[in-house]
Structure 1
């Protein structure tokens, strides 16, 4: 499982818990938590994308 997948799963879990939360402040806290998990997932996806590009460039250099 990639880091981005892990973070996205946590965001989904927090959003689900927020929908079930009866206390407004706890609901808001869980929503903020979900937003943070989503931010981390986006950052991890970008890192994974850059890593793939760097590895492809490295292989291309090795083959030339």
Structure 2
């Protein structure tokens, strides 16, 4: 499991918790947490993409 997959999984868990929350402030807290997990997932995906590009460039110059 990649870091991005882990972060997406946590975001989904937080969204599920938000859907079950009775109190509006708890629901909002879970939704905000889910968004932060998604932000981390996007950052991890970008890092993975850049790593692949860098590795391909290194192979091209060998």
Please report the TM-score for the alignment, with normalisation by the length of structure 2: 0.98
Give 1:33's aligned residue. 33
**Partner SS state of residue 22, structure 1:** coil
Is it true that 1:47 corresponds to 2:38 in the alignment?
A: no
Please list every run of at least 4 consecutive aligned residues from structure 1 whose deviation after the TM superposition is greater than 4 angstroms.
none
Q: Structure 1 regions of 5+ residues with no counterpart?
A: none
If you compute each CA radius of gyration, which structure gives the higher value, 1 or 2? 1
Deviations 1:2-59 (A, max 9, x none): 0000000000000011000001100000000000000000000000000000000001
Q: Structure 2 regions of 5+ residues with no counterpart?
A: none
Give 2:20's aligned residue. 20
Give me the CA root mean square deviation: 0.4
